[in-house]
Structure 1
Amino acid sequence: MGLELPAEEAGLDEMNDDYISDSEVVSHVQNVLKLVSQGDDEQYNQLIEVMICTERLEPDQEAMLVASLKALSGAVSFIDIVYHDHLLSSIFGMSLWNCGRVAMDALVELIINLAASNGKYLDACLDMLVCNFLPPPTLLPFLSQPRGHARKKEVLDRVHSALQSIADLVPLAPLRLLPIILHRMPRVHAKEAFIVIYAESMLRIESGAIGELVGNAMVMAVVDRLLDLDVEIGWDDILQEDSGKGIFDMELEDVEENADVDGDGKIQNDLPEGALSRQSLGGNLLADKLDSLMVLTCEHLKSCANNGRLVKVFETLLQSFQMTVLNAYKSKFAQFVVFYACSLNPENCGMKFATLLADIFECRTQPSLTRMSAVAYLASYLSRGKFLPSSFVSSMLKRLTEWCFEYAKFWNGNETTLKPTAHRVFYSVCQAVMYVLCFRMRLIMEVPHLKSQLHHMPLEPVLRHPLDPLKVCLPSIVEEFLRQAKAARLFTTSETFLFDNLLESDLSKAFGGMERLDMFFPFDPCLLKKCDRYIRPSFVFWSMVRTTDDDEEDDIEDADIDDGDFGDDNVGSLRENGKAETIDDDDLELIEFESSLNKMSITPKTSLKNNLPGQIGFSAQMPARIRPSTSPDW
């Protein structure tokens, strides 16, 4: 194949009618490169000018660029890093986004040949391709158009194909590529489109052949960026803090259900101070970036599940979770990528995550804060995971309760005064057990063998212990737990001991009552709009929970149904106007999202309408967010 190009005696900026073969063009460029070392750089400078294209070129300019790139590909052995540094800088500074298809192919071919010809150029070639993960800023508005999507695909397909070709030719290339990708990764304050497009290429590498060597690092880096964005969103951005209360008064669903629109079309919520709502995140640029990156990550996890790769990727996700997310102070949303991955594979990933958390909290060599964080994650996960079978939840509750029982036996009589901070892990676990039972007690009590297992757990001795967890744990959780326990007849002996002196005590305040904003259940409802569609189908909102005392006429003792969970049962039970109805899955899903939120809001509005025996009513909100305190390990 031949090209119409300038004769050797003419410059590269002049065209004639002579027909010149490809080999002749390569020979011409080789000669131009050699002349530089002899001090003749006129034609060399013309060659450099051809390489400089900061915007789309005219057809003649494009043809000249293609010819020059092809010629350079055949002359890479004549390129010297000292004499031709300006030429190399021009080549490595080129953007595929500004080139036509033919020019893109020619440029990619040159980069591959340079990388394979000399190890000195490898890093620069890889860096040039990584830089092309992102379009020039002027092209960002164009990407929202159909032609922009097509252009993005054309460029990135070539970039990733080139990276794979270089990896095939230079086996060590993937290891050299990794630090370049991590270094070039956009920071949290970069434009949202840049963050998402770049992460898209990182996850594409993870799922490709190069991912066998660097895929784990790609996943971990994306999770790190999720967390970076998460912690940049302050609580003040989504919460108006009431220092007197310090906890969330209602869940997102309650906020949205009670929203009214005024005459100006603005949403008006009759919310108490401290309420958490999705509207408060509206217009938050950091939240929008995090939301979009969460969606991209969830899509990648779904693709991994469809391709049978999720279990492998989940191992990396768990490692990243342990290293960063678990101990992040008040992480708000990043942890939901783990929740979503678990929902895609409950039998393996879902149970592995819960087991890992339980193992962490039981490990005495772990710091107390880490153990308490693991307990908070476990409690929230067991409560909110619609995909978790009741039998599994029950087995984890048994493990938690037995740990509390052994701890209480060890400390029995060893202290004359109660110091909550000295037993913070114990109280965190007690609180976790009660919290999970607030969400799951009804389902467990409806399955005979699980009900029997719950009755045989050493919960009552733990609650009766002189360490007195009922007076130390958050009153809002304690009150709701006791309300359900009484209705379910959970305790066989006299229950009056449970209901004495449950007013918020100084002990409770010392442990967490006055610092509830610093305490958390990490899987409280996710407030990010776009990624909500991935979480919601597998998530248990408080409004869905049918507590044990919803219908006092129910005869729980006679219940006899198969074990199941929120998500897999074929039938559900609904009470309307005092009658029980049997409903199928589709109806149940609709009812779950549209049923009245008045059964019990996420935080009971005031004290219980029907005060428990011997109890004075007090304002209780449930659930609270739990932050672990500090104390010696056990």
Structure 2
Amino acid sequence: MGELQTNEAGYDEMADIDFSDSELVSHVRDALRSVSQGDNDRYYQLIEVMHYMEHLAPDEVALLVTSLKALCGAVSYIDIIHHESLLSSIFGMSMWNYGPDVMDALMELITSLAVSSGKFIDSCLEMLVCNFLPPQSFLHLLRSPHGLARKEQVLDRVHSALRDIADLVPLAPSRLLPIILQRRPHTDAKEALIVIYVENMLRLESSAIGEHVGSEMLKAVVDRLIELDVKIGWDDILQEDSSKGIFDMELEDEEIAGDANKDGSEFPKGTLNRQSLGGNTDADKLDSLMVLTCEHLKLCADGDRLIEVFETLFKSFEMTVLNAYKSKFTQFVMFYACSLNPENCGVRFAVSLADIFTCKVYPPLTRMSAVAYLASYLSRGRFLSSSLAANTLERLVDWCFEYCQVQDGAINPEAHRIFYSGCQAIMYVLCFRMRSMMDVPCLKLQLLRMPLEPVLRHPLDPLKVCLPSIVEEFLRQAKAARLFTVSETFLFNNLLESDISKAFGGMERLDMFFPFDPCLLKKCDRFICPNFIYWSMVKTTYDDDEYGSSDEDSDKDFGDGNEGFVDDGMARSFEQNEFDFDEFEYSLNKMSITPRSTLNHMLADNLHTPMRMPARIRPSTSPEFL
């Protein structure tokens, strides 16, 4: 395209002439027709008007509005080749630079062009999508009332025009989708640009056009979340000490917590790892987008659309998030969606994850990731019932039991990694949920009837392969709840993570993947925290002296529910047997896991000290879990 010629005299001449509406349309038509005859003067006058955009005087605004309206009445005379310069000027106009009158006239012209000929539809749609974003010079104004008002004026008109075009041109939504995806700002762009673009994508999802492009909009938003998520390295979050067990990684530094509160942090106090994200621009962008997405899901729930939207959301999760290497934050969109509708979406998510885990069609890593998500979800979802947790656990235990029935080999973390991931998921959930299940007679009976003991006693020996910190906390609670027979198999504490306990997770260390550990993003945590179970809120089976401390209470508590299990010792109490440290140390040393030195001291200390559960950060203060 050649350099645009200007004609100041021609422009002044045009501005001075007092045209009626019909005369102006006729004048514009003549200017358009004259181009093919080699007479460009009036054509260039028209283009000159299109180029006035800043600090316009009232008469200049009036001329621009009337010119746009005249062009709207002459769209049939606009040729994509002969009038390339004019079209380029029109499609290059940013509505953010004009007042409402010019905006309305421009949108009327764009709509007329889109409807008049299929040749213009892509350019019109692209022009509207470009107006999702303000010019760079306008970004700082978005913080002011004036800037926000202009944003509302522009976007309302853009989306209205898109809706009108979609109504009049049935194929427009299918042409719109690739344009929106191609025009997305890069993840390195300024946060304000990324946020406002996603805001427009979500607005389209909930609009009339959403019937055609809504699911793809939502998938594209999730894709953008995960793109930012994977840019945040684990080194930005974890301050991992290989000498510590995973329970010890749940940090509670009161001094750092106090500093975090001074900065205005609301949840939770233990914020060492959250502080490590301070200044991370990718985390800030992701946090803002998570807030937008959660707000959108809340609107969907209020409009009775959540179940429909959730189907799309889960498909996107399955395709994108589930197999992303240790996704850190994006999955909380699913968590929040489930919290908005526990009876449908909440149950659907748990059942679907269990389906993936038990289905042989999926690759091993996908199945392991699914059960890690399932365990973390059941453990952390405050909105989930204990009965759902019990029913899902029963399904996992039954699968593991059936697996054991056809296996006669010994420990092999690589060959049986799916099995070990299932066992670890079961124990992890019970660390959070055992007390709540044991407090409900029907759920206690259901738990006691599960073939969990044969699974854990099997020669595959999951207690030696799964993370020792989870195994130890699980056994401590199982002891207090009188869940198993007294046996050296179920009586070892202070396990060290060995090579075999690391092996089943593979290079991805899925054995240490707890997807719904406390969310470290500050702004979106307000959506998650009220629905979240922190470890400090969990009532364990050893939490108070009343639970299982009295023989009379114990007999009453376990009475009818255990009658069918007396023969294989499922309900027998540890306190009913004399505990021999020497004999126990001998049996432990034969396992070649725990060092012999200081064993008695460590055991004696840990039998009276509650374990700390695995989460990257545990809040030191949080609401009491009821």
Normalised-by-shorter TM-score class:
0.7 to 0.9
Call closer, same or farther: CA 1:494–1:261 in 2, change over 3 Å: closer
Q: Which of 422, 429, 440 is residue 433 of structure 2 equivalent to?
A: 440
Summarize the alignment of residues 549-564 of structure 1 with structure 2, pairs less than 5 Å apart: 549-555=542-548, 557=554, 558=556
1:496 aligns with 2:488: yes
**1:150 Cα deviation (Å)?**
0.9
Which residue does 1:589 correspond to in 2?
A: none
Which residue does 1:462 correspond to in 2?
A: 455
Summarize the alignment of residues 276-295 of structure 1 with structure 2, pairs less than 5 Å apart: 277-295=273-291
Which residue does 2:66 correspond to in 1?
A: 67
Counterpart amino acid of residue 362 in structure 1 = T
- Give the 3-state SS of the residue equivalent to 1:115 in structure 2: helix
Aligned mates of 1:390, 1:266 — CA distance in 2: 34
Which residue does 1:341 correspond to in 2?
A: 337
Contact kept in structure 2, 1:247 and 1:517, CA below 8 Å: no
Counterpart amino acid of residue 541 in structure 1 = Y
**1:187 Cα deviation (Å)?**
1.7
Call closer, same or farther: CA 1:174–1:56 in 2, change over 3 Å: farther
Which residue does 1:325 correspond to in 2?
A: 321
Call closer, same or farther: CA 1:511–1:202 in 2, change over 3 Å: same
Which residue does 2:110 correspond to in 1?
A: 111
Contact kept in structure 2, 1:499 and 1:614, CA below 8 Å: no
Summarize the alignment of residues 577-616 of structure 1 with structure 2, pairs less than 5 Å apart: none
Which residue does 1:418 correspond to in 2?
A: 411
**1:68 Cα deviation (Å)?**
1.0
Counterpart amino acid of residue 259 in structure 1 = A
**1:554 Cα deviation (Å)?**
2.3
Counterpart amino acid of residue 350 in structure 1 = G
Which residue does 1:390 correspond to in 2?
A: 386
Counterpart amino acid of residue 169 in structure 2 = V
Which residue does 1:594 correspond to in 2?
A: none
Summarize the alignment of residues 353-392 of structure 1 with structure 2, pairs less than 5 Å apart: 353-392=349-388
Call closer, same or farther: CA 1:624–1:72 in 2, change over 3 Å: same
**1:320 Cα deviation (Å)?**
0.2
Aligned mates of 2:311, 2:158 — CA distance in 1: 28
More helix by share: 2
Q: Which of 478, 500, 509 is residue 502 of structure 2 equivalent to?
A: 509
Q: Which runs of 5+ in 1 are unaligned?
A: 1-9, 561-606, 626-634
Q: Which runs of 5+ in 2 are unaligned?
A: 1-8, 559-597, 617-626
Call closer, same or farther: CA 1:380–1:65 in 2, change over 3 Å: same
Contact kept in structure 2, 1:608 and 1:617, CA below 8 Å: no
Call closer, same or farther: CA 1:234–1:246 in 2, change over 3 Å: farther
- Give the 3-state SS of the residue equivalent to 1:419 in structure 2: coil
Call closer, same or farther: CA 1:30–1:480 in 2, change over 3 Å: same
Aligned mates of 1:615, 1:155 — CA distance in 2: 64
Call closer, same or farther: CA 1:109–1:244 in 2, change over 3 Å: same
Q: Deviations over 1:332-361 (max 9, x none)?
A: 000000000000000000000000000001
Call closer, same or farther: CA 1:158–1:375 in 2, change over 3 Å: same
Contact kept in structure 2, 1:56 and 1:98, CA below 8 Å: no
Q: Deviations over 1:137-171 (max 9, x none)?
A: 11111111111111111000000000001011101
Which residue does 2:614 correspond to in 1?
A: 623
Call closer, same or farther: CA 1:16–1:613 in 2, change over 3 Å: closer
**1:369 Cα deviation (Å)?**
0.1
**1:532 Cα deviation (Å)?**
0.5
Which residue does 2:119 correspond to in 1?
A: 120
**1:43 Cα deviation (Å)?**
1.9
Counterpart amino acid of residue 47 in structure 1 = L
1:427 aligns with 2:426: no
1:138 aligns with 2:153: no
Summarize the alignment of residues 107-186 of structure 1 with structure 2, pairs less than 5 Å apart: 107-186=106-185
1:85 aligns with 2:84: yes
Q: Deviations over 1:37-69 (max 9, x none)?
A: 111112211211211245342322211211110
Which residue does 2:200 correspond to in 1?
A: 201
Contact kept in structure 2, 1:398 and 1:454, CA below 8 Å: yes
**1:515 Cα deviation (Å)?**
7.6
Aligned mates of 1:108, 1:261 — CA distance in 2: 52
**1:503 Cα deviation (Å)?**
4.4
- Give the 3-state SS of the residue equivalent to 2:19 in structure 1: strand
1:548 aligns with 2:541: yes
**1:618 Cα deviation (Å)?**
12
Aligned mates of 1:176, 1:548 — CA distance in 2: 59
**1:623 Cα deviation (Å)?**
1.4
Aligned mates of 1:396, 1:375 — CA distance in 2: 11
Aligned mates of 1:141, 1:535 — CA distance in 2: 30
Q: Which of 387, 394, 400 is residue 396 of structure 2 equivalent to?
A: 400
Contact kept in structure 2, 1:475 and 1:620, CA below 8 Å: no
**1:511 Cα deviation (Å)?**
3.0
- TM-score under structure 1 normalisation? 0.83
Summarize the alignment of residues 165-244 of structure 1 with structure 2, pairs less than 5 Å apart: 165-244=164-243
Aligned mates of 2:241, 2:431 — CA distance in 1: 25
Which residue does 1:585 correspond to in 2?
A: none
1:298 aligns with 2:298: no
Call closer, same or farther: CA 1:220–1:261 in 2, change over 3 Å: closer
- TM-score under structure 2 normalisation? 0.84
Contact kept in structure 2, 1:476 and 1:624, CA below 8 Å: no
Aligned mates of 1:395, 1:21 — CA distance in 2: 77
Call closer, same or farther: CA 1:117–1:255 in 2, change over 3 Å: farther
Counterpart amino acid of residue 484 in structure 1 = Q
**1:418 Cα deviation (Å)?**
2.3
Q: Which of 259, 268, 273 is residue 257 of structure 2 equivalent to?
A: 259
Aligned mates of 2:44, 2:156 — CA distance in 1: 32
Aligned mates of 1:58, 1:614 — CA distance in 2: 82
Which residue does 2:529 correspond to in 1?
A: 536
Counterpart amino acid of residue 330 in structure 2 = A
Contact kept in structure 1, 2:472 and 2:492, CA below 8 Å: no
Contact kept in structure 1, 2:177 and 2:213, CA below 8 Å: yes
Call closer, same or farther: CA 1:504–1:135 in 2, change over 3 Å: closer
- Give the 3-state SS of the residue equivalent to 1:119 in structure 2: coil
Contact kept in structure 2, 1:249 and 1:276, CA below 8 Å: no
- Give the 3-state SS of the residue equivalent to 1:364 in structure 2: coil
Call closer, same or farther: CA 1:619–1:457 in 2, change over 3 Å: closer
Identity %: 68
